[in-house]
Amino acid sequence: MAEPVGADPARLLARLSLFRRLRGPELETLVRITEAVTFGPGEPICQQGEPGICMFVMVDGTAKVSVTKDGKAVEVASLGPGQVIGEMSLIDAQPRSATVTAKTDVVAFKIERAALIRMRARKDPAGFKLQLALAEQLCERIRAVNTHVTELLAGPPVERAPRARPMTAPPERDARRSFWKGMFEKLKGDG
């Protein structure tokens, strides 16, 4: 671990981009609602489908993100220091969309959704700034996913076949047309 968690949590958080908007007293307010937690290798940090009541800010270690579909878990990302786990739950309180498991010993700060709601109710600027930072981070991820999906959907350039020449009517069709045209003219002329 690069720096002990107990040394100065405010200084640790201040180094993370998520908290760049927070200044002295705001950062201290946030530190008061965080809890330092640890996870051992293989230990789940959060599980897909469980209620989302908190988020974690990784301070040290690595973790893997996996999604289970049709009973099969697929690793979709790897996380390290400075990255956030479960931030969507601070916004929408929906069930977890993925499972995150510690690959190594992980040290993280846990922030409960209820504590953030209380901060906003008190009109504490730190709560609003944290929520804005979370929204910006989620927007960055959505843009990255949009770019990735667009690239996947576009696929490799498609070579188009040369345009076919316009079809001409078969000779027997032309003969029928001429026959009926002639008949029409004859009938018209007789009347």
| pLDDT for res 4 | 44
Q: Please indicate whether residue 73 or residue 180 has the higher confidence score (pLDDT).
A: 73
What is 96-148 written as a DSSP string?
A: PSSEEEESS-EEEEEEEHHHHHHHHHTT-HHHHHHHHHHHHHHHHHHHHHHHH
- Split at pLDDT 50, 70, 90, the class of 20 is confident
SS3 of residue 55 by DSSP: strand
* Cα–Cα distance measured from residue 2 to residue 151, given in angstroms and rounded to the nearest whole number: 38
* Confidence at 133, pLDDT banded by 50, 70, 90: confident
Residue 71 has pLDDT above 60, yes or no: yes
pLDDT, mean over the chain:
82
Domain 9-153 part of CATH 2.60.120.10: yes
| pTM of the predicted model as reported, rounded to 2 decimal places | 0.70
Q: What is the pLDDT of residue 172?
A: 58
**Domain range summary for the chain, segments of one domain joined by +:** 9-153
Each residue's pLDDT tens digit, 144-153 = 888 888 888 8
**Is the per-residue pLDDT at 110 higher than 60?**
yes
